[in-house]
Amino acid sequence: MSRLVIVSNRVADLRKRTQTGGLAVGLADAMRCRGGLWFGWNGKIEASPPEQPHIEQFDNVQMVSLPLTREDYEQYYLGYANAVLWPLFHYRLDLTQHDRAAYAGYRRVNAMFARHLAPQLREDDIVWIHDYHLLTLAEELRRVGCRQRIGFFLHIPFPPHEILSATSEHFELINALLAHDLIGFQTKADLENFNNYLGHHFSCAGDTLYGQADAFPIGIDVEDFSRLSQSAGDDILIDRIRRGILGRSQIVGVDRLDYSKGLPERMRAFDRLLELYPEHQRTVSYLQIAPPTREEVAAYADIRVELERFAGAINGRHADFNWTPIKYIHRNVSRDKLAGIFQTSNVGLVTPLRDGMNLVAKEYVAAQDPKNPGVLVLSRFAGAAEQLEEALQVNPYDIDSVAKALHAALIMPLEERQDRHTALLARIKKQDAKWWVTTFVERLGAVQVDGKDTDCLVGAA
Ligand code: ADQ
């Protein structure tokens, strides 16, 4: 069996069971299962560029990591990946901060990754590159002579070509992406946007130009997560939460504090629920867990202030001596506690304005007790909506309709909850974490590297 080499912006700490962020959660599971090499940034910032990567062995996984310089961090990570590509790919043109120096830094770090990774590779390795930070890495690897099979998976949405073309570098970026042998997207909609882009910007139609792209919806380890939720029953915190909500209902949201997750809209929808359906006053509370991320990017600091203001105002308007409508927690929670919290909550509220997949939606389903399951209220703009048809799907921008869906979820009869849950559980089991890794890696392993037709990869920007 060929060795699997995973490359992502950050390598996760495999000693920890708690990873925040879908990519770290998904890949840590995959790596523990199969073993191999994991290459990426170690999260450190140092004064000068590294001469050699740092190599460490954890069981069957070799971790090969590099620090970044302050300039690399500011231009590649904060500047281009998170202030241009992230908002752009989430359809937020209003938040993109174009900057040629940041783009130069992005290209420089991708090239530096290639220089340090190439000597680590064996001839028959399968290389799997992840996410928007590393769109141009495969092109750099090819430039330094790597002939291995190289695949790419985009964890975030792929936007329509009209949006993508709002960045001056779009053609260079997508052209570099074509250096891969296989490109994976979360949904069929993303794949269609990609093929449309090729159709518009390259000289021949997308599907004939590049057949090696497909949708591979990422999954979770369903058994593991549902086991965690069952064992959380003995946990003191979960017990306290359970007693705190005795006789009441709880709505839960768990997200990184990111503007793509639709958190202000979600708080407004909860506020509207209490206004439209006063019977829920004092009987329903909303727990939002949202650890801060990327706080050095201005848009992230803004959303934090906005949310604190919202939660305070809503609580000020509705709270009573023994009822706090919104509990807003600003930190990481271990995965077992998270699983227990999901299980004690009657409604999982997952309403991003745009999301590649959203693993929280799947985790909420996995954590439910099949005898008395809660209800998932899910944005139709999350990638997960393509699979999770039996969730109550909502338009997160339409506050009244989200409030109505919350009401429907809170009063839903047991039988309907069970039917929906059974169907959702079957879906997340069918395409779970193992399915995702195996399907992608097998497809990549089967690619005929030398037979790839690149004749028509000639484009016009
Ligand atoms: P994210 O944007 O990070 O991931 P998501 O898919 O929801 O979004 O994954 C978040 C993960 O972090 C979940 O496993 C969740 O349990 C965990 N997490 C969140 N808050 C936490 C907290 N307070 N404490 C502990 N754990 C917490 C990106 C894309 C998504 C895509 C994933 C995977 O943006 O669209 O689904 O990658 O491809």
Q: Which domains does the chain have, with CATH numbers?
A: 4-219+434-449 (3.40.50.2000), 222-430 (3.40.50.2000)
Considering the candidates 133, 155, 180, 318, report the single residue annotated as catalytic: 155
pLDDT for the residue 292: 85
Pairing outcome for strands 284-289 and 326-329: parallel
CA of 302 to the centre of ligand 1 (A): 20
Does the beta carbon of 163 lie inside 6 Å of ligand 1?
Answer: no
Name the phi and psi angles at 459, rounded to 5.
Answer: -120, 170
Euclidean distance between the first and the last CA atom of the chain, given in angstroms as a whole number: 40
E strands, 197-307, are 213-215, 249-254, 284-289
- Going by C-alpha positions, the residue among 254, 318, 331, 312 that lies closest to residue 285 is 318
Q: Does pTM surpass 0.75?
A: yes
DSSP of 131-169: SGGGTTHHHHHHHTT--SEEEEE--S----HHHHTTSTT
CA of 361 to the centre of ligand 1 (A): 10
Hey, which bits of 33-163 come out as E strands?
A: 36-45, 54-58, 61-68, 126-130, 149-153
> Cα of 19 to ligand 1 centre, how many Å?
9
Q: What is the pLDDT along the chain (461 residues), one digit of tens a residue?
A: 889 999 999 998 777 755 555 566 667 777 777 889 999 999 999 999 889 999 999 889 999 999 999 999 999 999 999 999 999 999 999 999 999 999 999 999 999 999 999 999 999 999 999 999 999 999 999 999 999 999 999 999 999 999 999 999 999 999 999 999 999 999 999 999 999 999 999 875 545 555 699 999 999 999 999 999 988 766 767 776 766 666 789 999 999 999 999 999 999 999 999 999 999 999 999 999 998 888 888 888 888 888 999 999 999 999 999 999 999 998 889 888 999 999 999 999 999 999 999 999 999 999 999 999 999 999 999 999 999 999 999 999 999 999 999 999 999 999 999 999 999 999 999 999 889 999 999 999 998 776 454 443 444 44
Distance CA 261, CA 266 (A): 9
Helices (H), strands (E): how many in the chain?
Answer: 18, 14
Which of 138, 156, 146 minimizes the C-alpha distance to 122? Answer: 146
pLDDT at residue 45, as a whole number: 96
